[in-house]
Amino acid sequence: MGDTTMTIPLNGTDGIYSDFDISLPRVILDSSSDPIFCFDRTGQYLFVNNAFAAPFKILPSDIIGKRIWDMFPGKDGDQRFGAVKYVFETGEMKVIEVKVQTETTLQYFMTSVIPVKNTDGSVQIVICISKDVTERKQAENTLKESEEKYRLLTENASDVIWILNTKKSKFTYISPSIFNLLGITAEEAMNERMENAFTPESFAVMSEAIARNVAYFAEHPKSTRSYINQIQEPCKNGDIIWVEISTKYRYNSEGDIEIVGVSRNIDERKKSEKEILYLGYHDQLTGLYNRRLYEEAEGIITRIKDQLLEEKIESIGISISFGYETKHKMEESIQEIIKKTEDHMYRHKLYESSSMRRKTIDLIMNALFEKDNREMQHAKKVSEICEALANKMNLDQDDVNQARIAGLMHDIGKIGIDERIFSNQQKLDNGEWKEIKRHSEVGYRILTSVNEFSEIAVDILAHHERWDGEGYPKGLVGEEIPLRARIIAVVDAYDAMTIGRPYIKARSKEEAINEIQRCSGTQFDPEIAKVFIAMVLKAESGCDN
């Protein structure tokens, strides 16, 4: 050993040791905190630094010349020599994990066994450099023990613990207790498609819940919310059982959102709840419904109605009528009770149906106005002028009111007309005119469904009839046409001419008046046309509103 370099004696082919100088300053090797040592082909130590000798509380010189088994008896020595032998035979580096047991400590090292070769490529010695990995190994052992503990808890728990990858819709873990729940193994459950894990109804519930919860978790990744659902799952033997599922969401190492869930059999609990519910509403002796059910009937009906108020089909509400009656005395006939129940239902139906249809009319009018803002302006203007004209004709107040309402609703049937026709910038073709002409009949059918509008429904049907009988849909002549329909005909035509349409240019008021005058006695009732023209001219002169 030199003072400045490490010179190692090597056993040559002639059996005589020669010196091999790897030119490493001894002070550097001894100051390293990592154990560094060298072997020959037989496993004899040729060199060790202070860090290697320190755990044994001996000097490096006490180790040099010894073989591996002198320091590490048995399997520990065999492991180390196996690595040395491999490097000498292959010329390739090898890394092994070893442990060093002394009287007071147990240390783990990751050792790199490195070949040092001659110019001809043959391995002359191996140099070993060890890294202390004791802390990491202890952490790994602690983690392994923890994982083993939780594995035992998971595998022996009565509840089923599972993990579902929401992106792949596939279970990535299911605890063995699934066998006690459904009669299938964890492997069978892992290979099962998600939709087969639930009844169809429960699959729909879970799919909706998962989609909603995944969306929330994606926006709130730090959320610790947990969710509980009660669903039904099929067993291997064909039974359907109730299961309570508790779930939480997290990201896995691949960035996918996954669900960690716990499933618990609540089938017996659900049966008990059902039995308790049955006993709550039935007499124990006879099995008949008890008084509590009937006392709660009104409250149940109210709750159902309140919930229905929140439900709509294409903006139209849902109407359901109820009837109920209670038998108080033994001598009362059950048939009579049923009849009273039906009578109550039909009375409610009569009232509620009318109210619902009235609301539907309002919805249709609103939908029509939303469809085309021009229609709203036109309807309101026609309504106002119809009211003014009816007053000028000295009609009674009821007819004036009806004329106003009919004017507002005269085009309600257009709700059934293709919206593209309204926005058509070209002159309408025959097919489109035929479609437009349907609106008076459609409006009539809509309004006759509500008693309070049955009178003006006739006016709506006839407001495109002509005085000369050339109108539609019935071809009525003269006074066969209802009076209010004749009023609407004049006012509708005047306003339509002055505001125009996408396919017809608007006319001036003077031009519109001249057209009304020209068509008086052919298209329009001449008396109504005369009063209307006078009213408009008077308004134009500023003498009236």
- For residues 229 and 250, membership in a common domain is answered with yes
- For residues 46 and 118, membership in a common domain is answered with yes
Contact (Cβ atoms closer than 8 angstroms) between residue 412 and residue 383? no
- For residues 384 and 506, membership in a common domain is answered with yes
In a domain, 253, yes or no: yes
In a domain, 146, yes or no: no
- For residues 104 and 204, membership in a common domain is answered with no
- For residues 384 and 457, membership in a common domain is answered with yes
- For residues 207 and 337, membership in a common domain is answered with no
Q: CA-CA distance, 224 to 339, in Å (whole number)?
A: 56
Amino acid in position 285: L
- For residues 389 and 425, membership in a common domain is answered with yes
The CATH code of the domain that includes 483 is 1.10.3210.10
- For residues 327 and 383, membership in a common domain is answered with no
- For residues 465 and 494, membership in a common domain is answered with yes
Amino acid in position 142: T
243, containing H or E segment? strand 240-251
Q: Could you tell me the residue range of the domain that residue 227 belongs to?
A: 157-272
Question: SS in 3 state form for 361-425?
Answer: HHHHHHHHHHHCHHHHHHHHHHHHHHHHHHHHCCCCHHHHHHHHHHHHHCCHHHHHCCHHHHCCC
- For residues 380 and 464, membership in a common domain is answered with yes
In a domain, 2, yes or no: no
Q: CA-CA distance, 484 to 302, in Å (whole number)?
A: 42
Residue that is last in its domain, among 272, 301, 316? 272
Question: pTM above 0.95?
Answer: no
Give the tokens for residue 430. 């025959």
In a domain, 358, yes or no: no
What lies within 8 Å, CB to CB, of 93 at 6+ separation is 87, 112, 113, 114, 115
In a domain, 366, yes or no: no
Based on the number of CB atoms within 10 Å of its own CB, is 45 exposed (0-12), middle (13-18) or buried (19 or more)? buried
In a domain, 360, yes or no: no
Residue that is last in its domain, among 272, 299, 315? 272
The CATH code of the domain that includes 105 is 3.30.450.20
Q: CA-CA distance, 189 to 192, in Å (whole number)?
A: 5
Residue that is last in its domain, among 272, 294, 327? 272
Domain count within the chain? 4
- For residues 428 and 496, membership in a common domain is answered with yes
For each of the chain's 545 residues, which pLDDT tens digit applies?
444 455 554 444 333 334 444 445 666 787 888 999 999 999 999 999 999 999 889 999 999 999 999 999 999 999 999 999 999 999 999 999 999 988 788 899 999 999 999 989 899 999 999 999 988 888 888 777 776 766 666 666 678 889 999 998 889 988 888 998 999 998 999 888 888 889 999 999 999 999 999 999 999 999 889 999 999 999 999 999 999 999 999 999 899 999 999 999 999 999 888 888 777 777 777 777 666 666 666 677 777 777 776 666 655 566 677 777 777 777 788 888 888 777 777 666 655 555 555 666 666 777 777 766 777 888 889 999 999 999 999 999 888 988 998 998 888 888 777 777 766 667 778 888 888 888 899 889 888 877 778 888 999 999 999 999 999 999 999 999 999 999 999 999 999 898 876 667 788 899 999 999 999 999 999 999 999 999 988 876 654 44
Contact (Cβ atoms closer than 8 angstroms) between residue 486 and residue 509? no
Residue with tokens 């026609």: 382
What lies within 8 Å, CB to CB, of 324 at 6+ separation is 294, 297, 298, 301, 341, 344
Contact (Cβ atoms closer than 8 angstroms) between residue 325 and residue 341? yes
In a domain, 63, yes or no: yes
Q: Where are the beta strands (DSSP E) in 287-332?
A: 312-313, 316-317
Question: What is the per-residue DSSP string for 219-232?
Answer: H-TT---EEEEEEE
Q: CA-CA distance, 14 to 22, in Å (whole number)?
A: 21
Contact (Cβ atoms closer than 8 angstroms) between residue 252 and residue 165? yes
In a domain, 188, yes or no: yes
Give the tokens for residue 431. 């097919």
- For residues 85 and 133, membership in a common domain is answered with yes
